[in-house]
Amino acid sequence: MAQRTYRYYDFIMVAFVTVLICSNFIGAAKQAAVDLPVLGPTPFGAGVLFFPISYIFGDILTEVYGYGRDRRVVWAGFGALAFASFMAWVVVSLPPGPSAYMKSYQPALEAVFGNAWRIALASMVAFWCGSFANSYVLAKMKIWTAGKWLWTRTIGSTIVGEFVDSALFYLIAFYGIWETPDILKVAMAQYLLKTGWEAVMTPVTYRVVAYLKRIEQEDYYDRDTNFTPFRVRV
């Protein structure tokens, strides 16, 4: 049987991948700080301001189109992130030109794009696991709630997905390099900031979901879905 085609699915996929790549390669280059209650001044990667948008897209995709179509988007994002990491490594590794400008520019390029292999690996593994956890929880909660109380699904799935993402990223990237209390402190701050974004964006998510369900004439329930993450076919 022929697969359904949708008006906005491809656009959402492109937006998702764009946010993912930008938040990992542009935002990650800038470290900022915020003064949090209890935790005090806490450093964080500026990408945390934008990376949660990918989880909002994941919620929208699963809620409207189903887990299977969100799975395709996650794999597209993973492939794009892997290629971007490889390209960054190649570009940084190439010897700079002989001009004085290029020689002075190379250290800045390495600082921004020369992520250590552990950080690149941590980013890809954490994204992959966290995104699938987010989508799975939302799909299951949609059935449990009979499609009611969308906010419980978007926030509940993000709580799980972002926890998996933050825990894996900081464990893989910095265990044995940072002190364990520092890892826990930064990971907790990132987790709270990212899940807080989801709560703040709930009204926007509601409007986008309602619009897409109306335009696409789709409100998918994953009752008979094969939830394995190791496939791209819907």
Tens of pLDDT, residues 37-92: 776 777 766 777 888 899 999 999 999 999 999 999 999 999 999 999 999 899 99
State which residues of the chain have pLDDT below 50: 1
Structure tokens, 216: 């696409």
pLDDT in tens, 173-185: 888 888 888 888 8
Q: Tell which residue, 61, 90, 89, has the closest CA to residue 75.
A: 61
The answer to whether 197 and 52 have CB atoms below 8 angstroms apart is yes
What pLDDT score was predicted for residue 39? 67
State the pTM of this model: 0.91
Backbone angles phi, psi at 96, to 5 degrees: -70, 160
Burial of residue 200, with CB atoms counted within 10 A of its CB: 0-12 exposed, 13-18 middle, 19 or more buried: exposed
How far is the C-alpha of 76 from the C-alpha of 160, rounded, in Å?
22
DSSP annotation of 151 = H
Nearest Cα neighbor of 193 from 3, 53, 88, 2 is 53
Q: What is the sign, positive or negative, of the torsion defined by CA atoms of 219, 141, 134, 197?
A: positive
Q: Where are the alpha helices (DSSP H) in the chain?
A: 9-25, 52-65, 67-93, 100-113, 117-144, 150-174, 180-200, 202-216
Q: May I ask the CATH class of domain 9-216?
A: mainly alpha
The predicted structure's pLDDT at residue 1: 46
What are the residue boundaries of the structural domains of the chain, listed by start? Answer: 9-216
